[in-house]
Structure 1
Amino acid sequence: MKDKKQPNILVPLDGSIQAHAILPIAGKIAKLSGATLNVVYVGEPPIPPDEVLGKLGFTPEEAAGLVFNQLAGCPCEEAKEIVHLAEELHSLFIALSTHTKKENPRGHLGSVAGEILRTSHIPLIFVQPERGGREWELKNILFPDDGSPATVEAIHPAVEMARQAGAEMLVLYVMNMAESKHEAGSYSSPRYMDQPQHEWPAWASEFLCRMRGVGRVPSEIKTRLFMAKGEPGAEIVRFSKEHPEVDLIVLAWHGILEKEKAATMKEVIRHADCPVLVLRVALPVL
């Protein structure tokens, strides 16, 4: 059954244990946002509707309140069908594991997940299947901010999550993130990075003030700013591992997945221990 009026989060499952790793995260976000989990079976071959619960490993009690669908298209077009269904249902998010085959190494991005990432304009939530079915709470959100207006304007779903959960936003500015960008209106780093005491307090205050204004961050959401220098993807992953209180990483990207592009996003999705929320933004004005 499809309900286009009820806010929903689309969760593709293939019946594997690996795919189930997304359920604690999707369930918590659904509860916070007042949304329904719309579970879609993407296995092959199609099975009778009354067998879907068993195939996906749900008991009737666990399935209470959930909506179940099944893809009927060609297996080679699973990603396309998932994105189409999410668009048809006006899903808030598509939530999925990075891969669902146990023989794949940690850090692998499966073909279906990669194609959904490439084609979806709906926000995506990824999780490494190795986290298993552990409970998940949302108390701290890591938002890497490169200082560009497009990045900040894209964070509304994360801001809304923080508001609903009463979570704190940890803002991370990685210097290299801004050095390679020339988007009009971008906010540059302090001149003397090796002597932060000279400019850091005023710069940090202005940076956060600007982020709050452009991103429409309510005053009740607590924010803290951190700075790092190096390759953005590696620094974001390192920061999240050194700060185990980080529950979710939020990334904005421009939808270009070709080789040599989106290196930061791919590094974080593949190697972060916590879930990653990906928000697509418009290409920058140069």
Structure 2
Amino acid sequence: MNGINRVLLATDASAASDNAAHVARKIASLESADLHVVLAHVLRGAAGEVDQALLNDDRNRLATLQADIGDRVTVALEYGYSAARTIVSYARSHLIDLIAIGTHGRGSFARFFVGSVAAEVLRTAHTPVIVAGPEAQPATSGFGCVLAAVDFSDASKEVLRYAATIAYRCNARLVAVHVIDNTRVPGYAQVQAAQNRDDQALAELNSFVKAADLQTEADTHIKVGAVHDQIVATGREYNAELICTGSSGQGALGYRLLGSVADRVVRTSDAPVLVHRHADAHKVLDA
């Protein structure tokens, strides 16, 4: 992956954004990157009216956040009719390499908040996006373990390389997992056939990892089951503090986020999830 020079924390300065802030600051520190903090103030009505009380509140929360983070940060209060579009526009105009954004928990998040800020940012951003829910427990320094979910597509090779670079930077364990979706494989319950398939998949995964020419060693694992369930379960099994997955490719990690593997991993993971967009997805969205 190219170096991360600018990290954007998209925040509403609430407690729900704390873990996203933690991850953004951690990666910015690891990469010696500039940290940008943006709070999007949503305009109301056709005339773009500003609620002065809410605006003052946003300014106070942003000032508090800036004081907490320190001097090495660019803080911006941006205005727009859509928080997500305002965030993505800022990311593009300021050449942001990575966006971090928080969620408000499993209650509202269980619907994957169709039309919500984080979902729209995931769908439209031209950079990788880290989503951190309030349940995430990020490490105090670096990441102890980074998990990369791969499906043997070119897109997931990018995911693997991105995860490997982060793992290398903080001397973390890298785990690469490929999930055999037994909900789509007829007769997979036959034990011998299952074993043969597992062995073949592990050999393919090892070849895939070797061909990626990573900066660090990767532990490789094959899991069987529903793809998103097994990715999240593997993250818990290895105490992964960051899960990396894709939103494009020819395999299980399909381009469309809503209803996809990436969507479900984001919804159910205890750890922050980095969703890496493949270049082909950008072309589709821009067409």
Q: Please indicate the TM-score interval, normalised by the length of the shorter structure.
A: 0.7 to 0.9
Instruction: Quote the offset at 1:143 in angstroms.
Output: 0.9
TM-score by length of 1: 0.77
**Correspondence 1:125 to 2:130:** yes
Residue 170 of structure 1: SS of its match in structure 2? strand
Contact 1:155 1:252 in 2 (8 A): no
How far, CA to CA, are the matches of 2:221 and 2:24 in structure 1? 28
Q: Which of 224, 229, 245 pairs up with 2:224?
A: 229
Q: Render the CA deviation track for 1:232-279: whole Å, top value 9, x for unaligned.
A: 001111222233x21111001124134xx41x1111101110110000
Q: Where does residue 75 of structure 2 map in the other structure?
A: 68
RMSD (Å), alpha carbons:
3.2
Long gaps (5+) in structure 1: 1-5, 181-190
Q: Where does residue 95 of structure 1 map in the other structure?
A: 100
How far, CA to CA, are the matches of 2:9 and 2:166 in structure 1? 18
How far, CA to CA, are the matches of 1:241 and 1:152 in structure 2? 22
Long gaps (5+) in structure 2: 43-50, 186-190, 249-254, 282-287
Q: Where does residue 112 of structure 1 map in the other structure?
A: 117
**Correspondence 1:280 to 2:281:** no
How far, CA to CA, are the matches of 1:48 and 1:132 in structure 2? 31
Q: Where does residue 195 of structure 1 map in the other structure?
A: 195
Q: Which of 241, 246, 249 pairs up with 1:247?
A: 241
Q: Where does residue 52 of structure 1 map in the other structure?
A: 59
How far, CA to CA, are the matches of 2:60 and 2:24 in structure 1? 18
**Pairing 1:128-277 to 2, within 5 Å after superposition:** 128-131=133-136, 135=140, 137-176=142-181, 194-195=194-195, 200=199, 204=202, 207-213=205-211, 215-218=212-215, 221-243=216-238, 245-254=239-248, 255-258=255-258, 261-262=259-260, 264-277=261-274
Instruction: Quote the offset at 1:58 in angstroms.
Output: 2.6
The amino acid across from 1:129 in the alignment is P
Contact 2:150 2:156 in 1 (8 A): yes
How far, CA to CA, are the matches of 1:22 and 1:112 in structure 2? 14
How far, CA to CA, are the matches of 1:73 and 1:82 in structure 2? 9
Q: Which of 78, 81, 85 pairs up with 1:80?
A: 85
Q: Which of 33, 36, 43 pairs up with 2:34?
A: 36
How far, CA to CA, are the matches of 1:103 and 1:205 in structure 2? 37
The amino acid across from 1:279 in the alignment is H
TM-score by length of 2: 0.77
The alignment-based identity, stated in percent, is 24
Q: 1:177 to 1:195 in 2, by over 3 A?
A: closer
How far, CA to CA, are the matches of 1:68 and 1:86 in structure 2? 13
